A and B are shown apart, each in its own frame.
Chain A
Amino acid sequence: MKVVIRQWNAVAAWRWDMPDDDVCGICRNPYDSTCSKCKFPGDECPLLLGECNHSFHMHCIFSWLRQESSQEKCPMCRQPFKSKAQDTSGPATQNEDIVQTS
């Protein structure tokens, strides 16, 4: 039997490559959601991973680090917060997993 596909619709979902139930320690929203100010998750409200391996929504950690009292330390471990150099396969990058095609 020969099947000719005339049309197909792909449906894709993405999520950050992070543990399922984890939330940003600052806003307490899931990583896959946004900081308290943004509306759209993803590239518009990305995550930032520190060298200490603690991650936050970029907007959340920036608003903390802007405060003088933060002394630019990670809210979790109080080590100086430096963002970890990232390659495209590393954590905290957007992974596109195609979950369903039809």
Chain B
Amino acid sequence: MLASKRLQKELLKMHAHLPPGIDIVSTDDLKEWLMDIRVLDPNPLYQNEVYRLKFSFSKSYPIEAPEVVFVQDTNRPIPWHPHIYSNGIICLDLLDRQGWSPVHNVESICVSLQSMLTGNTKKERPPGDDNFVKYNTQRPRDINFLFHDNSV
């Protein structure tokens, strides 16, 4: 109940206004939203591409962080980034238990991810991507990321 009221509010506000490069794809189920994001400046890594994000909300959102991953589709690749695994799992402090704050919202997460991509110049995956993607069975929220890189 806590979550759905807040999500309905966010949705209403986002229908009225969204920052450039961010679009709502589907929110039919208030527990799971799909959003599309684009990088707006001419970063060659991300030009002419659109990325799809899946948000999953628990009942305790926004006290608890949502689970946010990139999802692949025919024309929606997983963006290259040293903190984004090829299965779409994102290593970003604000999505982690330690970095989350309940004043964040769907829009602010999308903006943060846009800027995380904007600032990147490396066409790389995180170290150990192959093994992680092959063997990881944990949900993103249960993974303990080690944040070793404060530059991104």
Contact = CB atoms under 8 A, between A and B. Distances in A.
A82 interface: no
A73 to B, nearest CB: 8
Contacts of A29: 5, 9
Given A28-B10, A75-B103, A78-B101, A67 B5 contact: no
Overall SS of chain A's interface:
loop
Contacts, number: 39
B102 interface: yes
Interface string B90-127: 00000001101111010000000000000000000000
Overall SS of chain B's interface:
loop
B1 interface: yes
Interface in A50-85: 60, 63-64, 67, 69, 71, 75-76, 78
Contacts of A60: 102
A25 B102 contact: yes
Contacts of A64: 63, 102
Contacts of B66: none
A22 to B, nearest CB: 13
B9 A28 contact: yes
Interface residues of A, number: 16
B62 interface: yes
Contacts of A27: 2, 5-6
A92 to B, nearest CB: 18
A77 to B, nearest CB: 10
Contacts of A36: 1-2, 5-6
A67 B62 CA distance: 12
A60 to B, nearest CB: 8
Interface in A15-38: 25-29, 36-37
Interface string B68-93: 00000000000000000000000000
Contacts of B5: 27, 29, 36
Interface of B: 1-2, 5-6, 9-10, 60, 62-64, 97-98, 100-103, 105
12 contacts: A27-B2, A28-B6, A28-B105, A29-B9, A36-B2, A36-B5, A60-B102, A64-B102, A69-B100, A75-B102, A76-B101, A76-B103
